[in-house]
Amino acid sequence: MNNKNAIITGITSGIGTEIAIGLAKHGYKLHLLSRTQKSGNRIKENIIKLTNNESIDVYECDLSLQKNIHKFVNDFKQKNDGLDVLINNAGIIPKKRIITIEGIEMQFAVNYIAPFLLSHLLYITIV
């Protein structure tokens, strides 16, 4: 293991899953953000089977809610010394307009605010 930390959003399908598998094969400790713990754990088990890398943490984090992003960053910084890779891969295209409980249109919250806020909070708390 190379003791490098990687945070990946959007891991439950497609590119996010493949990136997670690739980094796990290279020995990264993965921190996977998933809207639900169940779907995150399913991906985690699949990655372990494919790579034998068990250094994987799953965080339930609905990226449409800023309070969840703040909570994740606080949890991450308490348990880890640094971050080597951040993959902001999550994105949605809802079929209808949805407003979050924080009053923000959901597609804008997930696709634009979330990656900016996650990157910014990690930068100011870890660097």
Per-residue pLDDT of the chain in tens (127 residues, 90 and over written 9): 578 999 999 999 899 999 999 999 999 999 999 999 999 999 999 999 999 999 999 999 999 999 999 999 999 999 998 999 999 999 999 999 999 999 999 999 999 999 999 999 999 987 6
Domains contained in the chain, number: 1
CATH number at residue 104: 3.40.50.720
Q: What is the dihedral of CA 120, 122, 124, 127, to 10 degrees?
A: -130
Q: Tell me the C-alpha distance between 10 and 91, whole Å.
A: 7
pLDDT of residue 125: 85
> Structural domain of residue 36, as residue ranges?
5-126
Q: Quick check: 121 and 73 in contact, CB under 8 A?
A: yes
Q: Tell me the C-alpha distance between 47 and 84, whole Å.
A: 20
Q: Which amino acid is at 42?
A: R
